[in-house]
Amino acid sequence: MRLEKKATVVSTSVAATLVFIKMIVGVLSGSIAVLASAIDSFLDLTVSLFNYFALSNAEKDPDDKFHFGRSKIEPLAAVIEGVVISFSALFILYESFVKILHPREMNYMNEAIGVMVVSILITAALVYFLNSVAKKTGNMVIKADALHYKTDLFSNGAILFALALISITAEQLIDPILGVLIAVYMIYSAVPIIKEGILMLLDAALSEEDIQKLVAAIESEPLANDYHDLKTRASGSHIFLTVHIVFNDKISLVDAHAVTDSLEEKFQKCFEDKTVHALIHMDPYDDSKVDKKH
């Protein structure tokens, strides 16, 4: 089993555990913040299951129907996860305003504080694990999952602090006000995930920094006189690029082909945590300067 898939199994198990304990305490205590955290953990569970499905399908080999594989399932999963985070934030926002307008006293404060302490410890361990997997694999889905649980970590810490304040001051408005702040933070965190996923689905070019790595690789080849029409895109853990390399028109096909093989190896070394698919067109002259209408 790939490390990314193992990570989704771990995150699914953690989410299921947190849903169980938070939901019970959230309902009994009447805390909007704890209940919001339970709902968020339930969504975490749903998203982690979807991520496992997405990664299982994204790693399938190309076939007659999907010639370039199914790697775009990964950014699609990231967009869905970001949207799920946003909708859960809107629900929390709604519940918070309801409690502000219709205050109600909280119960089982010690139990609520206890479950949030346990939740913070478990979530912190999970975030550390997911971040390490994301760094090793560069997988977008795991990166989004790690960010999601990181927002949970911050929100859980804020909830614990608020519960302690409520226990000391008996001020019930602290709970729904915190719910509003958590909801706003969740939406703020979801926007970059959605944006990155959409850009990848729309075949946006690689960053300027990454493109310069490719240009440096091309310019390191002495037999490559020039290049043009360098086009790039990313799809999950795969990078696709096309480029025209200009050779001296006297070069043999064997030598030119050897240069393209060397370039493919260099391109791959530029992105060691990705799979690079390079399509290199060999030109005897710079046809980008030719008027193609004639």
Instruction: Collect all residues with Cβ–Cβ distance below 8 Å to 33 and sequence separation of at least 6.
Output: 158, 159, 162, 163, 175, 176, 178, 179, 182
Rounded distance between C-alpha atoms, residue 151 and residue 145, angstroms: 10
Both 59 and 150 in a single domain? yes
Closest by alpha carbon to 137, among 242, 283, 6? Answer: 6
pLDDT of residue 2: 67
Both 134 and 235 in a single domain? no
Rounded distance between C-alpha atoms, residue 234 and residue 228, angstroms: 19
The pTM is what?
A: 0.64
The DSSP bridge pattern shows strands 226-235 and 275-283 to be unpaired
Q: Which residue has the higher pLDDT, 166 or 209?
A: 209
Both 30 and 49 in a single domain? yes
Both 89 and 214 in a single domain? no
Both 148 and 229 in a single domain? no
pLDDT interval class at 293 (50, 70, 90): very low
Q: pLDDT by residue (tens digit) across 259-274?
A: 999 999 999 999 987 8
Both 179 and 216 in a single domain? no
Give the total number of structural domains in the chain: 2
In a domain, 240, yes or no: yes
Asked which of 149, 181, 201 is the last residue of a domain, the reply is: 201
SS3 69: coil
CATH number for the domain harbouring residue 232: 3.30.70.1350
Rounded distance between C-alpha atoms, residue 75 and residue 82, angstroms: 10
CATH number for the domain harbouring residue 51: 1.20.1510.10
Closest by alpha carbon to 126, among 236, 32, 16? Answer: 16
Both 136 and 259 in a single domain? no
Q: What proportion of the chain, given as a percentage, has pLDDT over 90?
A: 22
pLDDT of residue 55: 66
Instruction: Collect all residues with Cβ–Cβ distance below 8 Å to 180 and sequence separation of at least 6.
Output: 93, 96, 97
> How much is the mean pLDDT over the chain?
82
Both 227 and 182 in a single domain? no
Domain that holds residue 121: 3-201
pLDDT interval class at 253 (50, 70, 90): very high
Q: pLDDT by residue (tens digit) across 131-181?
A: 888 888 777 677 777 877 887 777 788 778 888 888 888 787 887 887 788
In a domain, 189, yes or no: yes
